[in-house]
Structure 1
Amino acid sequence: MGQAPDPASERDRLTRWRLVLGGEEADGIGDAVNLDADDLHRDEALRQLYDADRRGGLGASAPRVARWLGDIRGYFPSSVVQVMQADAMERLGLTQLLLEPELMEAVQPDINLVTTLVGLGRVIPERSKATARAVVRTVTDQLEQRLRAETVQAVTGALNRAARTRRPRPSDIDWPRTITANLRHYQPEHQTVIPERLVGHARRARRVERHIILCIDQSGSMAESVVYASVFGAVLASLRSVATRLVVFDTQVVDLTEELDDPVDVLFGVQLGGGTDINQALAYCEGLITQPTDTILVLISDLYEGGIAEEMLRRAAAITAGGTTMIALLALSDSGRPSFDADHAAALAAIGVPAFACTPDQFPSLMATAIERRDVAVWAAANDVVTAHGDDD
């Protein structure tokens, strides 16, 4: 005999469908459910957004929109709020209203909002700039808190492993590792280990051991990648053993290395949109390379080249032939499968420049692989990334 359905659970299910379908005659629910006070507020917030084309929606009043944003933050979970904010900007044309301080103070900061504000950077009025920067800082601080520890651990660990030597000076011997590596040579009669292989670190002054160049396409489609790259750039710049440069480009090249300590300054120094000249950007980065075998060049671009593609490929080949590790990241984002020029990505992969997209959580491991001079293409094949051919490995 089957178990009778729980009436309360059934009402919750019908309530959710009622909110989704909007309560019109065609929703099929009719009078089967009555909304309580909170659900009525939720229904009204959804109606103003998703029925806006038929009923006038939120109108053009910034105070009214600010109240609506406050309502949805009170009645929906954070993940739903972010979706509704994004939908509101698309469906109701709220982009220009984001230039109002009172509206920006009402929104829930997230990476989608940051990319919108960065895109508006040049037109944000003076009265709104401080609020816009505060919103962007909230998000970049959250991202840095999330990503810093793993990045620092991965990079410093890779540097330490890369510096190990089997002929260390006495003061540089790593005795715990040496003993572990030689346990099979334990001498019972002497109750000691006779080490045949010493493990230690080469003597190092506090010097730069790797040079990292982040070369970022600032076309509009790369907005989320620009945000994440600015955060990683700040983290890498804080490490003494790594010299980090950050370059952004469209049809012009701008070196933002001096702003690296503050991702907010970087982001408001970016001009999203415009054309793309990857070849010109690579030419500039090539001029920054002084120690090729210790340099990692990360090109973050969807590879829709507006310049001379053949020259771009020749320059990339010359950079890798000189000993620099070069990687083409088609996207550095959580947004899923990116759009990119598959022909250019495959051509780069064919000349030894691995081309794939990765998430921010994968980036520390990628950098560790490059620092240790391991095969980045092998790393990509072992991880769930979008490759140059557009397939998930």
Structure 2
Amino acid sequence: MTELLENDATDAAAAERARRWRLVLGGAAGGTLTGADARMDAALAVLYDRDDDGGERRGGLGASAPRVARWLGDIREYFPSTVVRLMQRDAIDRLGLTRLLLEPETLAATEPDVHLVGTLLSLNRVMPERTRQTARMVVGKVVAELEKRLARRTVTAVTGALDRSARTHRPRRAADIDWDRTIRANLRHYLPERRTVIPSRLVGYARRQRAVRRDIVLCVDQSGSMAASVVYAGVFGAVLASIRSLRTSMVVFDTSVADLTEHLHDPVDLLFGTQLGGGTDIGRALAYCRRLITRPNDTVLVLISDLYEGGPREEMLRQVASLTSSGVQVIALLALSDEGAPQYDRENAAALAALGVPAFACTPDVFPDLMAAAIERRPLDGVLAAGPHRAPGPAR
């Protein structure tokens, strides 16, 4: 009896291994599947079954929007959301799904994420009116999820930095005293016999000020490679604009420049105001941003771009040098996304570093701390070292 049970267990394990290999390798592995396994295999075959010699795909979705919608519904049923998003991205690349995203039934069946939003924004100018409302709902869902994830931490980090960056000689509470600055300001009152400093002048943090204390300018490259960064920048721009002590502007650019500051109250409207794709003229965008700046010493300009400049490189560098020499704190983000180090122009990144402008990739989770450090004019290296990424290339 024991031997029979062991043989049954061995046979079951072998059958399970064969089933898994069949799902991984597809029809080429031989064997048959039934029930849910067969339907799961069919969904995978549509996207991934190809001839071994690299010829035509055996699978395919054709041009039927209802059929695509059914396929999208199938993969949502059989796979977790992270896998669904990956399969959607592969379908857009491998099966030409982009055009079919203009169909409401296709769009309604998708699993929304940042990459899908980027694809929809790139189709914004050719999107039929009957699809636009569905697209706005998809984008709105992703934006709401991002705001829920990022808004509170951003507001806490930035408002804390604003409080600490504001100085007063009449701190209201002991907790508001900046002891490091107070001691340094009173070193001449050191009493050797008592081994102490007599603080005749206190330096502290001025909290709860209502006046605008910092100007933030987000200058965002909307070329096609920056899609995810555009989405995150739009969400962060809306959050920063909600902080009364900041004056936030958002400018997007390709070879032309668009000021979307008036849309910061509604990040969905703002994102639909972008136009992904096209060339890049960073120098022209920075020239426009300079005209927005009235208090250079209190301004942080965040350039979000992979630095592939299509305009005159010398003009870009001249604009950066002019901004920094006037007192503006300029930061270059090669990407604002979860995807790590991007492709970027290393020569331009090195040139910016030589002008004192750090250039690095930044994840959305690190961005609040980055802005807090910039507002306080603290070195950024500590924030970057603590984050889940590393600054690529010559970005110091």
TM-based fold match above 0.5: yes
Q: Which residue of 1 aligns with 2:74?
A: 71
Query: Secondary structure at the residue paired with 1:273?
Result: coil
**Shift in CA distance, 80/382, structure 1 to aligned 2, threshold 3 Å:** closer
Higher mean alpha-carbon deviation, 195-204 vs 279-288, is at 195-204
CA distance in 2, matches of 1:204, 1:51: 61
Q: Which residue of 1 aligns with 2:194?
A: none
After TM superposition, list the pairs within 5 Å mapping 1:121-270 onto structure 2: 121-165=124-168, 167-168=169-170, 172-176=171-175, 196=199, 200-202=204-206, 205-270=209-274
Root-mean-square deviation over aligned CA pairs: 2.6
CA distance in 1, matches of 2:99, 2:224: 17
The alpha-carbon deviation at position 201 of structure 1 amounts to 3.2
| Aligned residues of 2:363 and 2:388 also touching (Cα < 8 A) | no
CA distance in 2, matches of 1:89, 1:384: 29
Q: Which residue of 2 aligns with 1:187?
A: none
Query: Aligned to 2:337, which of 323, 333, 336?
Result: 333
CA distance in 2, matches of 1:320, 1:63: 55
Q: Which residue of 2 aligns with 1:191?
A: none
Q: Which residue of 1 aligns with 2:300?
A: 296
| Aligned residues of 1:175 and 1:199 also touching (Cα < 8 A) | no
| Aligned residues of 2:338 and 2:364 also touching (Cα < 8 A) | yes
CA distance in 2, matches of 1:124, 1:305: 29
Q: Which residue of 1 aligns with 2:191?
A: none
Query: Secondary structure at the residue paired with 2:301?
Result: strand
Q: Which residue of 2 aligns with 1:47?
A: 45
**Shift in CA distance, 12/258, structure 1 to aligned 2, threshold 3 Å:** farther
The alpha-carbon deviation at position 387 of structure 1 amounts to 3.3
**Shift in CA distance, 235/10, structure 1 to aligned 2, threshold 3 Å:** farther
**Structure 1: gaps spanning 5 or more residues:** 183-193
- Cα deviation, 1:332-360, whole Å, max 9, x if unaligned, reads 01122201100000000111111111111
**Shift in CA distance, 250/178, structure 1 to aligned 2, threshold 3 Å:** closer
Q: Aligned residues: percent identity?
A: 61
Query: Secondary structure at the residue paired with 1:254?
Result: strand
After TM superposition, list the pairs within 5 Å mapping 1:279-290 onto structure 2: 279-290=283-294
- Cα deviation, 1:266-295, whole Å, max 9, x if unaligned, reads 111111111111101010111111111110
Query: Secondary structure at the residue paired with 2:364?
Result: coil
Query: Aligned to 1:343, which of 343, 347, 358?
Result: 347
| Aligned residues of 2:76 and 2:111 also touching (Cα < 8 A) | yes
CA distance in 2, matches of 1:357, 1:37: 46
Give the number of aligned pairs: 368
The alpha-carbon deviation at position 255 of structure 1 amounts to 0.2
The alpha-carbon deviation at position 236 of structure 1 amounts to 0.2
The alpha-carbon deviation at position 162 of structure 1 amounts to 1.0
**Shift in CA distance, 57/294, structure 1 to aligned 2, threshold 3 Å:** same
| Aligned residues of 1:349 and 1:388 also touching (Cα < 8 A) | no
- Cα deviation, 1:193-246, whole Å, max 9, x if unaligned, reads x99585643376411011000000110001110000000000000000011000
CA distance in 2, matches of 1:209, 1:178: 20
| Aligned residues of 1:58 and 1:65 also touching (Cα < 8 A) | yes
The alpha-carbon deviation at position 77 of structure 1 amounts to 0.7
Query: Secondary structure at the residue paired with 1:22?
Result: helix
| Aligned residues of 1:229 and 1:332 also touching (Cα < 8 A) | yes
Matched, 1:354 2:358: yes
**Shift in CA distance, 126/330, structure 1 to aligned 2, threshold 3 Å:** same
The alpha-carbon deviation at position 265 of structure 1 amounts to 0.9
- When normalised by structure 1's length, the TM-score is 0.87
In structure 2, give the amino acid aligned to 1:293.
N
**Shift in CA distance, 384/241, structure 1 to aligned 2, threshold 3 Å:** same
